[in-house]
Chains A and B, each alone.
Chain A
Amino acid sequence: MAHTADTHHGDGHHGSYLERKGGIIATIFDWATTVDHKKIGVMYLFAILFMFFLGGVAALAVRYELLVPVTIDPNTGQVQGQFLAALFGSDQPTSVSPGNNIYNRMFTLHGAIMVFMVIVPSIPASLGNFLLPLMLGAKDVAFPRLNLLSWYIYVFGSIFAVSSIILGGVDTGWTFYTPYSATTDAGHPKVVLMVLGAFILGFSSILTGLNFVVTVHKLRAPGMGWFDMPLFVWAIYSSAIIQVLATPVIGITLLLLVFERVLGIGIFDPARGGDPVLYQHFFWFYSHPVVYVMILPGMGVISDVLAVQAHKKIFGYRAIAFASLGIAAVSFIVWGHHMFTSMSELASTVFSALTFLVAIPTAVKVFNWIGTLYKGSIAFNTPMVYTLMFLFLFSIGGLTGLPLGTLATDLHLHDSYFVVAHFHYVMMGGTIVALMAGIHHWWPKMFGKMYNETAGILGAVIVFIGFNLTFLTQFLLGTQGMPRRYASYVPEFQYLHELSTYGSWILLVGFLIHLFNFLASLAVGKKAPANPWGGMTMEWVADSPPTEHNFHGDPVCTHGPYDFDRVVPPHWDPKDYPLPAPEAGGRPMVAHSPDKHD
């Protein structure tokens, strides 16, 4: 790791966790065998960002193909406008199918990588691993070796999935619906490899979730009750429960799919009396709750970043905490809304009604966040810009879910670009934007360096513009009847598709600015103070970057996570930031209690 921070404590036992252990080989070995949750979190972060890059390239390829509709020259019979086929040097310009095949593989690649390898593990495995023990005042997660094993399982599963790409790619879509997934590319191992990859990644997810649940139960610092935990911890806890309870079902489903493909057991094959809709039920029984594994940690990041950057006690702490658990509970009973068109009317109506329940705890959160911002002393920096972006984009994503959950409107909108736009607003506008907020917010803590604020805000604004250009247009396309997963379209749609593709390029620019900003920060960034934003939670008590066992001595929890109105933040230095004005008639500020043994 080239970005090893030089920290001087004058105390040999309390070096930064990033400190090198000898030469380059020794350092690599040290990282590869580490059981330190901080290093594992950082390794996850880099692995996930790499997969985000791969999935992003596939997304750009998909958008590039859709820049113009495919046309066939009436005179020569030549296919025009198949960019991907031209890019990969296809020698059959008279047929559209090679180009369509590449397109199908690209969107499958994009979906599978982004869902299984990026968004599901993104916030819990990277920020969660790094922050959970720090926020709880613990030295590590409950099972550190299991934690390292989860990372290796993640890498192993990713290699499985990526190897299927090297063998030519999979064209099933990320949902692997039968009977297509059981028959396509018959006799070729690549679909099995991809499915097994997802199966293996599931184990990584289960073990991480299990580890976090036990950590929250058993390793809270003395004095920290359940309602003294930061809301990020509540969110991680809720999503960890879903991970533990839902992932085994996808495990058996994917295993049965592999048996179906390899041995022809017939459970999902209608020709043998099996039922392909059973696969969909099994699949969504996992994959719908997992939508909330993706978004809940994002909501947790937003709760924490929002309160800290607004320097204000969070509004409705318990409401937000219970909303997380409420979303986790409801998430298990709404899976049927993915199959409205293949179920009985009664079942569809029941699932539709249950689906609307999700809106209640979600709206509770959004209103509480807005309530928190009211009269806060809001810092205008990259984490805050991303947080505000989250509120906009996630609200749009959530509200466009309502017409999809309503049976009458869903009949028109399902399998259209409206669905694509909806879940990108939730998944990317929600989870990825929250991840970006979280990375910037905790970057000084993770690496002990500040990033360039101007570049960060610039990148965020460009991402915001690019994102809306890419996906707002897709809502319009969807309402006009553009079906999803097609490599071409009627010329009437070209204008909106073009805008969407330009938007994807702007997104790329925004993310590249962030990438260079991060690299510049690691190379020449200013040294970060222990508490650059004035946070109250335990991770801001630790050094930046934290020492190997996180804290000097054993920390004790003496105040609530967002007591900005009555406690001076740890390591407060008037040079860094001013204290928020005490509320009229409020209690006087008290000093933050230092560590017991500091």
Chain B
Amino acid sequence: MQAFRILAKDKLAMLGLVVVVILILLSLFAPFITVYGFDQIDIKNMNSGPTLQHIMGTDALGRDIFTRLLYGGRWSLGLGLSASILSVAIGIVVGSVAGYFGGATDNVIMRLCDIIQAIPATMISIIISISLGTGYVVTIFALALGSASNNIRLMRGQVLSVRKEEYLEAAQCVNCSSVRIMFRHIMPNVMSPMILTFTMSIGKMIMVAAGLSVIGLGVQPPNPEWGAMLSAGRNYIIHYPHLVIFPGLFIFVTGFAINLLGDGLRDAIDPKLKK
């Protein structure tokens, strides 16, 4: 609770939080903000630059970029959130199992992590996208699995560090079950770095998804996902740079806000860092 109080005093972090909240609200209330539909095609008005009707211009099919970016928040933020949640969840479950049980379980899990980490994360994401087909849910899985092994390691390290603490020995003495110990006693003490990782990875996930779109994978049209829009616009950079600039700005602002928030969170959770 003290962490929240510190966080609330951190103006930059709050700025980040506000921006994120605004982005979420914009995406949720998009239908009330804009008169266009995100898949409303207007072939008389293709690739137009920013005008009063289309404040961020239109794309190759005459769709309003601003509208697509607003709606795109649902896909992009959703993608960032769910991929991060999934990735961190895998990290927490598998990592704490490894850390808590130790021994052979730990060894097997860690060697598996070694193996996965030996393959570049982008490649894992590419291969998963290809084998399951492109699409929104697949992309979430691809991103989450590509980055899960780091989280597993992090979580395991955390659990290892508290496992020897006295309160756990006490809990074991009074015959608490492993599950109970894990959830009641260990989790609360090791969660802070995971929350941090989670926050920081949201922006990163959106960026990696954009990268996947560049090589023809990832979220596919007609979904107005920011990364997909950015990557589709890159063929137009010479004459219609607004197709690249605005989606890029949205991704950038999101990443920036989330990083501000994450930094504040770190300071709040780990106050001795802030000198």
The answer to whether A and B assemble together is no
Binding site for A on B (CB under 8 A): none
